[in-house]
Amino acid sequence: MRFATNRAMTSRLYTIACAFGLFASLASAASLTGPRLLVVLEGQDEKANYSQFFGDLEERGYQLKFESPKSESLSLFTHGEREYDNVILFPPKSKGYGPNLTPQLLLQFANQAGNLLLLTSPSSTPEQTREFARELEISLPPRDFSLVDHFNYDTLSAPSKHDVVLVPRPKASSSTQNYFSDSDSKSDVIAFRGVGHTLGNGPLLNPILTAGRTSYAYDTKEDATYAEDPWSVGSQLHLVSALQARNNARITVSGSAEIFSDEFFGMKVKAQGSNKKVEVANRVFAKEVTGWTFKETGVVKVVGIRHYLTSGVDAPINPSMYRIKNHVTFEIELSEYSNDQWNPYLVPSDDALQLEFTMLDPYYRLPLLPSTFSLNSTTFTTSFKIPDQHGVFAFRVNYKRPFITNVDEKYTVTVRHFAHDEYTRSWDISGAWVWMAGIAVTVAGWVAFCAVWLWSAPVAGKSKGKKSQ
């Protein structure tokens, strides 16, 4: 009777928990950082130009708050804590964003794990944006520089200027295939009008959308000499780039704000030499870019880590000490967050997840292979023999790849030498049998010699006396 009552109570609690979880999922955004989104935009007329873009964000659960760049009430922090989880900065019409959006404050916002989407334009990119981009090792062109491509442009909207450039979406074989190349999209063309930028050698920078080989950036005020002295050309120009900081904060810089506008969302383009109009994929691409920037996709977390003796039946999990030459098994469980749910993480076929067993330098670097799968995670496992070296070692998984959160886990253990009673006895070593037999023969020979010497009396000799004179 008591069991039935407890079972019914458990069922009610489970139903309440499921209902609460469903309500929480509906009330919050898919972003792991949070739903609070600040949109810095100047003018209500500009807001109407991006109604579809903002509508898509609201449908995904974001709480949008619009502020003017120089509003006195605008503040990224309250009592030292982030006021917002994500920020979108549109290019202002004035010369700057004001004192509340300085590069130092934007960097502080990123240092507190806030996410930023920075939009630029050829004619209205303030110096604050350029200074902030330089901190990220991103070089923006001077004012009034624009991107053109005389071979890949829209013949309908830009028949003479060639500034509406048609760029193919990232290919499925690239590193961006999981997050910026939706296989369900009907179009593989993105219409772009704006300006490109160049990237430094920082390991945290990754391009998302790159200009074509025949494109270049030039000064629109110096049309007569644009072909002789372009600012940058070809694939050196990147149109949309991303930076993921070491604390996993995400910053995306786009060379155009218009690609997120209603005009470009519903645009139909016709490439040079083609008679067919095609729809652009700007709306889907905008969803993918904002989804990655605000941590809706590409988030990998460590569910659990276990290491133990391989041969031990009742071996403890995660002990603090091992012995040299022990056989050890290491397991790490990873889960990937994508579009409001946790899924098992799958390592790409051309990549490898590795374990380092290090003291000062790695003694071993071993591949971690998937062993078991659950509903929400994948367990990767490897086994190895601890080297014949005692000291303080560490299990380390340092997995850092473009467009996914960094996985850097380190667990320290002590490796001791053999105890006195743990060394292998001589009679268990077949190679020592010859030497042991030699010792036994030597001892037996010595005992035999002593016995013969002790029990063998000397022979009595005849005495020969001398006559006395």
- Per residue in 222-252, pLDDT (tens digit) is 765 455 678 888 889 999 999 999 999 999 9
Residue 7's pLDDT band (boundaries 50, 70, 90)?
very low
Tally of CA atoms within 13 A in the half-sphere of 45 that contains its CB: 2
> pLDDT-derived band of residue 466, with 50, 70 and 90 as boundaries?
low
Which of 338, 411, 344, 341 lies closest to 373 in space, CA to CA?
A: 344
The confidence band for 464, taking pLDDT boundaries of 50, 70 and 90, is low
pLDDT score of 169: 87
Residue percentage of the chain with pLDDT more than 90: 64
Range 456-466 average pLDDT: 65
Could you tell me if 207 and 238 are in contact, meaning their C-beta atoms sit under 8 angstroms apart? yes
* C-alpha torsion angle, residues 198, 91, 100, 69 (rounded to 10): 180
DSSP structural state of residue 387 = -
Report the C-alpha gap between 126 and 138 in whole angstroms.
15
Mean pLDDT within 138-164 = 90
Q: For the beta carbon of residue 329, count every other beta carbon within 10 angstroms.
A: 17
Q: Spell out the long-range contacts of 13-21 with Cβ–Cβ below 8 A and sequence spacing 24 or more.
A: none
**Distance from C-alpha of 166 to C-alpha of 282, rounded to nearest angstrom:** 11
pLDDT of residue 290: 96
Q: Sorting pLDDT into bands at 50, 70 and 90, what band is 215?
A: very high
Closest CA to 232 of 283, 204, 197: 197
Mean pLDDT over the full length of the chain: 86
Query: Tens digit of pLDDT for each residue in 101-139?
Result: 999 999 999 999 999 999 999 888 888 999 999 999 999
Q: Give the pLDDT confidence score for residue 135 in this predicted structure.
A: 94
Higher pLDDT, 249 or 350: 249
pLDDT on residue 229:
74
Q: Binning pLDDT at 50, 70 and 90, where does residue 17 land? A: very low
Alpha-carbon Rg for the chain in angstroms: 36
Identify the DSSP state of 308. E
pLDDT of residue 1: 36
The answer to whether residues 206 and 251 touch, using CB atoms and an 8 Å cutoff, is no
What pLDDT does 70 receive? 84
Q: Are 280 and 191 in contact (CB under 8 A)?
A: yes
pTM over 0.75: yes
Residue 100: its H or E element = none
Q: Which of 298, 246, 207 is nearest to 110 (CA)?
A: 246
Please report, for residues 49, 253, 282, 297, the alpha-carbon distance to residue 260 in angstroms, rounded to integers and kept in the order given.
9, 13, 7, 19
Contact 144, 122 (CB under 8 A): yes
Write down how long the chain is. Answer: 469
Kindly state the DSSP code that residue 143 receives in the 8-state scheme: T
Q: Which residues pair with 379 in a beta bridge?
A: 333, 372
